[in-house]
Structure 1
């Protein structure tokens, strides 16, 4: 049955509503960044730029790097924006936009997030790179979908018990990355661990300005969590949504972050722009 116009909204030129993209505008290899200015910082390495557009915070550039075609998309901040970007990207490759019907032959995208983050562990210093083995959903977005087949109940229950998680909050979910992409990105330069994804920057990440927070000890509980070989290495606002939606839609996803702050020892990178540039170069080389 074709999707209704209210469910799959298209612009007058046939592009998807928020991203302003048509199927031919994107590659199968996608790089997500949060900051729209970072799109140009990556595409400057391209041999050829074939397409670029922007609508709201969603800036997209498609081109080739060492003969491999990539699309870079700025997602903006937060899991709610990831919900928009991933659903519309999937529609571009797996829904016929003319008939509004799902295609019989589905396409799998490879999605890598290049981000910045703060480390929760003293032994993961500023200026290092962290690959997210899992995304820990602390924000509740994924509960809107049927997620039973992609979660990790043993890990989740251990985390809930360790943190004495409030029953008034969304139940935490833990989603694994694409091991295929993780293997491509891993080297002696990288750390690996669970990335916690919060729904905000201040209270949801334990920052206190003028508002008291529900659990002042939550950050310590998070960074002291250890279960088998797993620990939580960093905290940000996108990875769990990328992992969960990608798994549900049948795409590969992996997140790699430049660590520009260490919350455990209170340090901040002396040159965060350089760290991000190093991560961009590192990731592009690993993906080709």
Structure 2
């Protein structure tokens, strides 16, 4: 097998991958991702022990134990472009031999669970509530840079989405990927379920108007109104579809959990978003510790 060139797989002087500044042994196979670098310590403060900490740019990692379970928490920063970096580098740490620069013959599947914040697109999913995304629907274009195929259910969902929302291809070519069923089944009690839409920005792409007009001002209403069988769009944010899409292509198990800090239908905002996030962290860690 031909080694991967140094320009493609960048390894620094201490044998760590370029952006995350991690060596393979410093990463657990169960990984929590958070957007905000400051949120890493808010997760790891609940660990029983912390064995390793690293920071490079916006990417902070703490690896330790919850009981007997080894867990890493990694900050990604905001947006699907950062997820492209993080998912590829997490996969490389697990599945590429850094000495030979070749793909390992036996691949490792990681459990990757996002704990983040989001805006609700349904009036009955209130601020301070929790959403576990059944699917990540991307209007961000990232996955279109990779060879991928949609299964039959995904094709039907995309067709219905394009028809009902009139989402034109001059924005992007939407894609959809499902959550890991093996992880999702553990996050039912206390969680709303639905499709999470991932946007390439916070203002215009999420229908916010400050000084600039929108080219598709009805988009938010159309996302809220989307239905296909039992499926509806529950919320939107800026990372989930990239995690689900790349993770699925790489053979990892991914799930996105979000605390709702804004309800875009009721036009309400959480009075204490940090408390909502902390509640989600505590609830999720209790479940993650029990997952085999």
TM bracket (short chain): over 0.9
Q: CA deviation at 1:223?
A: 0.7
* Unmatched runs of 5 consecutive residues or more in structure 2: none
Q: In structure 2, what is the equivalent of residue 46 of structure 1? A: 47
Does the CA-based 8 Å contact 1:15-1:21 persist in structure 2? yes
- The 5 Å alignment of 1:1-288 reads 1-149=2-150, 152-187=154-189, 189-288=190-289
How many angstroms apart in 1 are the aligned matches of 2:113 and 2:234?
18
Does the CA-based 8 Å contact 1:58-1:76 persist in structure 2? yes
How many angstroms apart in 2 are the aligned matches of 1:169 and 1:206?
13
Does the CA-based 8 Å contact 2:150-2:176 persist in structure 1? no
Q: Secondary structure of the residue that 1:165 maps to in structure 2? A: coil
Superimposed CA distance per residue, residues 163-201 of structure 1 (whole angstroms, 9 cap, x where no aligned partner): 1121212211111000111011221x1100000000011
Q: Secondary structure of the residue that 1:107 maps to in structure 2? A: coil
Give structure 1 regions of 4+ aligned residues with deviation exceeding 3 angstroms.
none
How many angstroms apart in 2 are the aligned matches of 1:261 and 1:96?
43
TM-score, scaled relative to structure 1: 0.98
Does the CA-based 8 Å contact 1:150-1:175 persist in structure 2? no
How many angstroms apart in 2 are the aligned matches of 1:254 and 1:267?
26
* Unmatched runs of 5 consecutive residues or more in structure 1: none
How many angstroms apart in 2 are the aligned matches of 1:88 and 1:164?
35
How many angstroms apart in 2 are the aligned matches of 1:57 and 1:150?
35
Does the CA-based 8 Å contact 2:113-2:255 persist in structure 1? yes
Does the CA-based 8 Å contact 1:150-1:248 persist in structure 2? no
Does the CA-based 8 Å contact 1:47-1:65 persist in structure 2? yes
Q: Secondary structure of the residue that 2:234 maps to in structure 1? A: strand
TM-score, scaled relative to structure 2: 0.97
Superimposed CA distance per residue, residues 119-152 of structure 1 (whole angstroms, 9 cap, x where no aligned partner): 0100001111000000010010000001115581
Q: What is the number of equivalent residue pairs in this alignment? A: 287
Does the CA-based 8 Å contact 1:33-1:39 persist in structure 2? yes
Q: Secondary structure of the residue that 2:136 maps to in structure 1? A: strand
Q: Secondary structure of the residue that 2:213 maps to in structure 1? A: coil
